[in-house]
Amino acid sequence: MELYKENQLKIYNSLSKSKEVFKTVTEGRVGMYVCGPTVYSNVHLGNLRTFMSFDMVFRYLLHLGYKVRYVRNITDAGHLESDAEEGEDKIAKKARLEEIEPMEVVQRYTVDFHEVTAKYNFLPPSIEPTATGHIVEQIEMIKEIMDKGLAYEVNGSVYFDVMQYNEEGNNYGILSGRNVEDAIHNTRALDGQSEKKNPQDFALWKRADERHIMRWPSPWSDGFPGWHLECSVMSSKYLGEQIDIHGGGMDLKFPHHECEIAQSHACSGVQPVNYWMHANMLLLNGQKMSKSTGNSILPDEILSGDNTILSKAFGAGVVRFFAMQAHYRSILDFSNDALLASEKGYHKLMEALSILQQLKTSKESSFDVLAWKQKCYDAMNDDFNTPILIAHLFEAVKFINQVKDDKGTITQKDLELLSTTLNAFVYDILGLINDAKDQGSDKLDGVVELLIKLRKEARDNKDWALSDQIRDELAELGIQLKDGREGTTFSVN
């Protein structure tokens, strides 16, 4: 399935703001780098959506026949600039509060990240390097930038000189479209701001004060690398000076990716990335996710149903299907109603797949399977347009049901092509899971809802014994009832 030779795959390139035909540096090989998690807490649902989007991209490139080296880093060194208002990096802060070593924090949440991504059926990346494993290379890159006259040292800290970089004919702001004046106007009051020549300069190395637990020796001070440096180092080490695809969340476009471009270009003299891709944010009930306001939910809480947001537990396959119904560059609103609607569509799709091999074949087909297959590829080749792809998949679902009900016909050859193509897009590319626990869940939901209704009638009639009996016997079966102001919901353990 080497469609790349036909140059059909078009990607929206954030650098050029247009869809361009994807061309690899070396035919048939793709290098893709995605900014991974900072492991100081459980992986956020919004982060999971970003990584899920690039898991889909990875899967599709593999399906097309590319040899893909997918690098996704682990940020296991806290950075002062990422939590500047408090003057303490996030990993060290967590370690201090829990009275444990920073690397215990890193280990705990790296393991959590891997467990969550496995539950949601992510393919592991080809390489998963860590920031702390590349301190030597980061120091060497700083030396190279300083030798080029594009960085300076002040009191043991080293800063990238943005004004000098631009004066030499470069363009800090090429990705985000911001000019230097805007950067100055919007610069926060970061720690060490007074040390900088210019407000928009960013740290390559920071001298550690007595509060900073994580520190390393360098030619300038005992300190730690700047946040942006690690990705420039690791992407170039494993993928070369100019890589095919660099991905991350939309919030990383500025300043993180902008600074990456400046650092890497300062060293190599070439644009470091051919295609910048950014996944958009995930809302929860129309609002920005926030732990402080309670408007948040963890990926594991979706699977268990142990939360106050959803009416019940949902399988990982349903969540992936929900995410793929929106384009990766679109804002996606996560809610109970949205998941319930996605669950219905997910079950229709899985049911159609389950009856494929039971279909009777005929001498003719009433559905053009070959044309349908091409439409599926056209959708994915148009900047990985999964919502359009899913619409085409449901054209096939409708046809499958027609054949089942003797309202359509299909030849044996077309049935084999339909089955192969449908399974490839559903399982290999979208990464959906046919969860065994989801089978028959609609009927189970109906039975439990009926018991909840009977229990409510018992409570209205002050028949507390019957009400408690229904609750307790459901609990013994692993079905927990939760009474709230809006009624009773349930979760299955």
Domain CATH code at residue 415: 1.10.730.10
pLDDT of residue 98: 87
Q: Which letter does DSSP use for residue 356 in this model?
A: G
Burial class (CB in 10 A: 0-12, 13-18, 19+), 427: middle
For residue 392, tell me if it sits in a domain. Answer: yes
Has residue 152 been placed in a domain?
yes
pLDDT in the model for residue 88: 65
Domain end among 436, 452, 470: 436
Q: Note whether 77 and 104 are same-domain residues.
A: yes
- Residues 176, 217: contact at Cβ < 8 Å? no
Same structural domain, 94 and 155:
yes
* Angstrom distance (rounded) from CA 315 to CA 303: 6
Residue 395 sits in the same domain as residue 408: yes
Same domain, yes or no, for 260 and 225?
yes
Q: What is the CA angle 243-177-387, rounded to 5?
A: 65
Whether residues 343 and 462 fall in one domain: no
Domain assignment present for residue 385? The answer is yes
pLDDT of residue 488: 85
360 inside domain = yes
209 & 317 share domain = no
β strands within 230-288, DSSP E: 243-249, 273-279, 282-284, 287-288
Same structural domain, 102 and 54: yes
| 328 assigned to some structural domain | yes
State whether 67 and 159 are in the same domain: yes
Which residue range is the domain that position 354 belongs to? 310-436
353, 462: one domain: no
Which pLDDT score, from 0 to 100, does residue 204 have?
97
- Helix 336-355, helix 316-324: angle, nearest 10: 100
Q: Which pLDDT value is given to residue 486?
A: 61
Query: Could you tell me if residue 322 is inside a domain?
Result: yes
Burial class (CB in 10 A: 0-12, 13-18, 19+), 15: middle
In a domain, 477, yes or no: yes
Provide the CATH number for the domain around residue 103.
Answer: 3.40.50.620
Q: Tell me, yes or no, whether 64 and 157 share the same domain.
A: yes
pLDDT tens across 178-227, in order? 887 665 544 444 445 578 999 999 999 999 988 788 899 999 999 999 98
Indicate whether 458 and 390 sit together in one domain.
no
Instruction: Give me the residues of the chain with pLDDT under 50, please.
Output: 1-5, 80-86, 185-191, 436-439
Helix (H, G, I), strand (E, B) or coil at 362: coil
Whether residue 179 sits in one domain with residue 147: yes
CA dist 402 → 78, 93, 309, 326, 365 (Å): 57, 60, 38, 27, 12
User: Does residue 291 form part of some domain?
Assistant: no
Q: Which of 263, 208, 218, 217 is closest to 241 using CA atoms?
A: 263
CA angle centred on 78, ends 75 and 79, rounded to 5°: 110
pTM, entire model: 0.86
Q: How many Cβ atoms sit within 10 Å of the Cβ of residue 358?
A: 9
Whether 290 and 296 have beta carbons less than 8 Å apart is answered as: yes
Q: Which of 388, 414, 436 is the last residue of a domain?
A: 436
Of 413, 436, 459, which one is at a domain's C-terminal end?
Answer: 436
Continuous segment of H or E residues that includes residue 484: strand 479-484
Report the candidate in 197, 164, 194, 200 with the shortest Cα–Cα distance to residue 181. Answer: 200
- Considering its fold, how many domains does the chain have in total? 3
Instruction: Tell me which H or E stretch contains 378.
Output: helix 369-381
